Structure 1
Amino acid sequence: MIMSTSAESTINAYNDSCPVVDSDLTVINAVIIDGLGNEPIRGGVRIRDGRIVEVGPDVSGGSTSTGSSGAAGGPVLDAAGGSVLPGLIDAHCHAFATYLTGSAGIPLTYVGIHGSRRLTAALRRGFTTVRDPAGGDPAFARAGREGLFAAPRYLYTGEPLSQTGGHGDPRPPESSACLHTSEVVDGVDAVRTAARERFRQGAHAIKIMTSGGVISPSDPIAVPQYSADEIRAVVDEATRRGSYVIAHSYSAASVRHSVINGVRSIEHGNLIDATTAELMADHDAFLVPTLAAYDAMSRRAAALGLPEVSMIKNAEVLDAGQQAIELARAAGVQVGFGSDLMGDLEDEQLNGLRLQAEVLGLIDTVRCATSTNADLIQRPDLGRIAVDCVGDLLIMEADLTDDPDALWDDRRPRTVVRSGQVVFGS
Structure 2
Amino acid sequence: MCLACYDPSIAESAGINPCHCDAPYTHQAYARIDADLRRREVLGGMAAVVGMFAGFGLAPREARAQTPGRPILLTNLRFFDGTDLSMQVGRDILVENGVITGLPPAGQGPADAQIIDCGGRAVTPGLIDCHWHATLVGVSQVAALTQDIALVHLVSGQEAGATLMRGFTTLRDVGGPVFGLKMAIDRGVVAGPRIFPSGAMISQTSGHGDFRLLSSLPRLTGDADYTERTGVAAIADGRDEVLRRTREQLMRGASQIKIMAGGGVASPYDPLETAQFTLDEMRAAVEAAADYGTYVCAHVYTPTGILRCLEAGVRSIEHGQLADEATIRAMAEAGVWWSLQPFLADEDANQYTDPRSIAKQQQVAQGTVRAFELGRAEGVKMAFGTDVLFNPAGARSQGRQLAKLTRFMSPLEALHMATGAAGELLSQSGTRAPYQGRLGVIAEGALADILVWDGDPESDLDFLGEPETNLRLVMKDGRIYKEQLA
- Judge same fold: TM > 0.5, yes or no: yes
- Measure how far apart 1:294 and its partner are: 4.3
Aligned residues: 395
1:51 correspondence with 2:102: no
Task: Give the superposed CA RMSD.
Answer: 2.2
Do 2:74 and 2:115's aligned partners in 1 also have CA atoms closer than 8 Å?
A: yes
Instruction: Give 1:38's aligned residue.
Output: 85
TM-aligned CA distance change 1:391 to 1:127, over 3 Å:
same
Residues 137-194 of structure 1: CA deviation (Å, up to 9, x unaligned): 4332211111111011111111111011111112343433844131111000110011
Select the structure of larger CA radius of gyration: 2
Instruction: Identify the range of structure 1 (47-56 vs 214-223) with the bigger mean alpha-carbon deviation.
Output: 47-56
**1:389 to 2:446 alignment:** yes
Task: Please report how far the alpha carbon of residue 339 of structure 1 lies from its aligned counterpart in structure 2 after TM superposition.
Answer: 1.1
Question: Counterpart in 2 of 1:4?
Answer: none
Contact 2:307 2:327 in 1 (8 A): yes
More helix by share: 2
The 8 Å contact of residues 292 and 351 in structure 1, kept in 2 or not, is answered as no
Q: Which runs of 5+ in 2 are unaligned?
A: 1-62, 220-224, 428-432
> Are positions 1:324 and 2:360 aligned together?
no
User: Residue 188 of structure 1 aligns with which residue?
Assistant: 239
Residue 403 of structure 2 corresponds to which residue in structure 1?
354
Higher relative contact order (CA 8 A, sep 6+): 1
Q: Provide the rounded CA distance (Å) in 2 between the counterparts of 1:122 and 1:139.
A: 17
Query: How many angstroms apart in 1 are the aligned matches of 2:375 and 2:226?
Result: 34
CA distance in 2, matches of 1:32, 1:135: 35
Give CA deviations for 1:287-326 in whole Å, capped at 9, x if unaligned.
111226843465x725xxx322111111111132132122
Instruction: Report the CA distance shift for 1:208/1:293 in structure 2 as closer, same or farther (over 3 A).
Output: farther
Q: Classify 1:33/1:185 alpha carbon distance in 2 versus 1 (closer, same or farther; 3 Å).
A: same
Tell me the distance in 2 between the aligned counterparts of 1:282 and 1:129. 28
Cα separation, 2, equivalents of 1:189 and 1:295 = 41
Q: Does 1:95 align with 2:143?
A: no
Alignment of structure 1 residues 277-356 onto 2, 5 Å = 277-291=328-342, 294-296=345-347, 298=349, 301-302=351-352, 306-342=353-389, 343-344=391-392, 345-356=394-405
- The code of the aligned residue for 2:268 comes to P
Deviation at 1:234?
Answer: 0.4
Q: What is the one-letter code of the residue matched to 1:278?
A: R
Unaligned runs of 5+ in 1: 1-18, 62-69
Corresponding position of 1:273: 324
1:407 aligns to 2:464 (yes or no): yes
Task: Kindly provide the CA deviation profile for residues 41-96 of structure 1, in whole angstroms up to 9, marking residues without a partner as x.
Answer: 1132111221112226x1337xxxxxxxx627553222222111110111111111
- 1:360 alignment partner, SS class: coil
Q: Distance in 1 between matches of 2:414 and 2:315?
A: 20
Q: 1:249 aligns with which of 289, 300, 305?
A: 300
In 2, distance between residues paired with 1:393 and 1:205? Answer: 25
Q: Specify the alignment match of 1:154 in structure 2.
A: 195
Q: Distance in 2 between matches of 1:397 and 1:297?
A: 23
2:346 counterpart SS class: helix
The secondary structure found in structure 2 opposite 1:129 is: strand
Structure 1 residue aligned with 2:261: 210
Of 160, 164, 170, which aligns to 2:211? 170
Q: Does the aligned pair in 1 maintain the 2:179–2:199 contact within 8 Å?
A: no
**Residue 393 of structure 1 contacts residue 418 of structure 1 at CA under 8 Å; is this kept in 2?**
yes
- Pair 1:172–1:387, CA change in 2 (3 A): same
The residue that corresponds to 1:422 in the other structure is 480
Alignment partner of 1:228 is 2:279: yes
Letter in 1 for 2:141: T
Report the CA distance shift for 1:137/1:347 in structure 2 as closer, same or farther (over 3 A). closer
Match of 2:185 in 1: 144
CA-to-aligned-CA distance 1:8-60 (integer Å, 9 cap, x gap): xxxxxxxxxxx9x777321112121111133211132111221112226x133
> Is 1:369 aligned to residue 418 of structure 2?
yes
**Matching residue within 248, 269, 294 for 1:197:** 248
Q: Mean alpha-carbon deviation: is it higher for 335-344 or for 70-79?
A: 70-79
Q: What percentage of residue pairs aligned between the two structures are identical?
A: 31
- 1:80 maps onto 2:119 in alignment: yes
Farther-moved stretch of structure 1 (410-419 vs 363-372): 410-419
Paired with 2:295 and 2:112, the residues of 1 have a C-alpha distance of 39
The answer to whether the Cα contact below 8 Å between 1:81 and 1:399 also exists between their aligned partners in 2 is no
CA-CA distance at 1:281 after TM superposition: 1.4
Which stretch has the larger CA shift, 277-286 or 97-106? 97-106
How many angstroms apart in 2 are the aligned matches of 1:216 and 1:25?
48
TM-score normalised by L of structure 2? 0.77
Q: Is the 8 A contact 2:135 2:178 kept in 1?
A: no
Tell me the distance in 2 between the aligned counterparts of 1:99 and 1:293.
Answer: 22
> What secondary structure does 1:79 align onto?
strand
Distance 1:297 1:416, change over 3 A: closer
In structure 2, C-alpha distance between the alignment counterparts of 1:402 and 1:364, rounded to whole Å: 11
TM superposition outliers: structure 1 runs of 4+ over 4 Å: none
Cα distance change on mapping 1:411 and 1:311 into 2, 3 Å: same
SS of the aligned residue for 2:304 comes to: helix
Check conservation: 2:166, 2:468, Cα contact below 8 A: no
Task: Give distance in 1, aligned partners of 2:115 and 2:324.
Answer: 49
Cα distance in 1 for partners of 2:460, 2:114 equals 27
Q: 1:349, 1:293 → 2: CA distance?
A: 14
Query: Is the contact made by 2:338 and 2:383 (CA closer than 8 Å) also made in structure 1?
Result: yes
CA distance in 2, matches of 1:72, 1:110: 49
SS of aligned partner of 1:151: coil
Normalised by the size of structure 1, how large is the TM-score? Answer: 0.87
Range with bigger deviation, 172-181 or 232-241: 172-181
